[in-house]
A and B are shown apart, each in its own frame.
Chain A
Amino acid sequence: MKLRDLFLSDKNGKTLPLKAAFNLLLLTAVIVTVFWLSVAAVGVTFDFSFLSQFSTRIGQGFLMTLLISLSSFVLSLLLGIASALGQGSRILALRYLCSLYVKLIRGTPLIMQIYLFFYILGTAWGIDNRFIAGVLILSLFEGAYISEIVRGSLLSIDATQWEAAKAVGFSHSQTLRFVVLPQMVARTLPALTGQLASIIKDSSLLSLIALIELTQTMREIIATNFKLFECYFLLGLLYLCLTLPVALVTKKLEKKFSYET
């Protein structure tokens, strides 16, 4: 075996576990070295001893982030599907409304939506509960993205499939159930779980309206002890605990639904 082969995947696309482990170890070593050098260059020392004192609050914040993300995921899924269908509607007002919703939400930053929706719409309509307001705002934001995912896969189903289904005697609902829906699920599911990871990360911005989720908890702790680096380091790890499993599931789903291979 040549030295070069140690760093390349085999011709058949497979990689021996030992070789994979070796390369991963090497990469980890390089990343840790670069990080360590950077930390040394800046002259910062890490001190995590304060953490035990805050473990309950951090745990609560973590659960809050999870709860916000899951609630928003469900709600934005409903919103997204409704808006995707609405964009194909023959009722013009509905079609324009849905398309305007997607364009406005996707075209503006979340931070603006959070402030305006919470302090103007929220106040005007009496939504004072920060959790409810936060979930609603986040769902509205993510729903626009999900709408585009769903609409994209709807469009990708060719019109000839409807005709073919009709030709073999399928009714409209049968075509939906046996032809369209299975393809839709296959095409959207991986993208939708990917969107869940985005929701988890985007929920951190709700700290701006003092919704005490993970990021806000960390900011509150930083405000009292100035452990900015330690807190954000831990914050990153905790978000990864949520997003990495989601990424794993996304990959599994992608594999499961790729019929070609």
Chain B
Amino acid sequence: MKKIAIILSVLVLLTALSGCAGNNAASNSKPLVVAMELAYPPFETKDNNGSPSGVSVDFAKAFGEYVGREVVIENTAWDGLIPSLQTGKADMVVSSMTITDERKKTVDFSDPYANALLAILANKNSGIKSIDDLNQAGKKVAVKQGTTGDIYAQKHLQNAELIELTDESACVTEVVQGKADAFIYDQLTIYRNWKTNEGTTDAVFIPFQDVEQWGVAVKKGNAELLDQINAFIAKFKSEGGFDKLTEKYLSEEKAAFDKLGFQWFFDVKS
């Protein structure tokens, strides 16, 4: 009797497990799961009540309205974003993610909706004035693991020593304390961290690289969703949606960027 019970329970367990396999097909009534790392204000962040907020959140919600599906924001660590698409835990990633050839091997990207340039936050005593000063033996460069700053440094700063960290704030701390000579990240982050650490750091804004374009990522082969996203981006752009988001979240930065002569996030040249 006992034996049969054990065999039965094992069978039940196995069918339950394989049952999960069949449920993956997405239907339109199901909510749209959008993964992003809520650690990059004002694009992906949390408001004071802890709810997701920011440019990407509003953008994702507008897309949900456009396709008539409820949007669920899934806060996911940066490392886990692409795997969450691969495993079907999320339908799309809207997380200020740059379209790169390497990432394209694993996921599909929408048309670009924004762009960004990298910049350098340098320690004041490091004497770093340009990217060439950084590509020297003995120079230490902090980067956030897996970001385009990391990829850029691996490709172009082969003489320098890389310090790969998981936290943006740890990277900034390394520079402020002089453990690293510089931190490479996007212009907006560098601008903000330089503003809060003006006594110890310098911001070096040099357009030493190609413009990075941000796209929405979906699971490889999900053409249906990708077409919807591309159509939406074109519509959103023509209706001035991005201008409204700029006004809501980034008016001060827009003024600073204009003064410095930088290209704005949403001035995407196609």
* Chain A interfacial positions (CB closer than 8 Å to B): 3-4, 30, 33-34, 37-38, 40-44, 115, 119, 123, 128, 207-210, 216, 219-220, 222-226, 228-229
Contact = CB atoms under 8 A, between A and B. Distances in A.
Contacts of A34: 14, 17
Given A42-B87, A43-B88, A210-B163, A220 B145 contact: yes
A210 B165 contact: yes
B267 interface: no
Contacts of A30: 10
A219 B150 CA distance: 12
B177 interface: yes
Interface string B50-92: 0000000000000000000000000000011011001110000
Contacts of B154: 224
A40 B21 CA distance: 7
17 contacts: A30-B10, A33-B14, A34-B14, A37-B21, A41-B17, A41-B18, A41-B21, A42-B86, A43-B88, A115-B170, A208-B166, A210-B165, A219-B79, A219-B164, A222-B146, A223-B145, A223-B146
Given A42-B87, A123-B177, A220 B21 contact: no
B173 interface: yes
A99 to B, nearest CB: 32
B172 to A, nearest CB: 11
Contacts of B20: 41
Nearest to A34: B17
Nearest to A208: B166
Interface in B150-177: 150-151, 154, 163-167, 170, 173, 177
A43 B24 contact: yes
Nearest to B83: A228
A4 B17 contact: no
Contacts of A33: 14
Size range of the chain B interface in the assembly: 20 to 34
A224 B177 CA distance: 27
10 closest A-B pairs (Cβ-Cβ)?
Answer: A41-B21, A223-B146, A210-B163, A42-B87, A228-B83, A223-B145, A37-B17, A41-B20, A123-B177, A226-B106
B192 interface: no
A220 B14 contact: no
Contacts of A115: 170
A109 to B, nearest CB: 15
B241 to A, nearest CB: 30
A223 B146 CA distance: 4
A216 B165 CA distance: 9
A18 B173 CA distance: 60
Interface string B90-123: 0000000000001100100000000000000000
Given A34-B17, A115-B170, A219-B145, A224 B151 contact: yes
A34 B103 CA distance: 30
A44 B87 contact: yes
A119 B177 contact: yes
Contacts of B106: 226
Contacts of A42: 86-88
Contacts of B170: 115, 119, 208-209
B128 to A, nearest CB: 19
B12 to A, nearest CB: 13
Contact of A229 (B14, B83, B102): B83
B142 to A, nearest CB: 8
Nearest to B6: A7
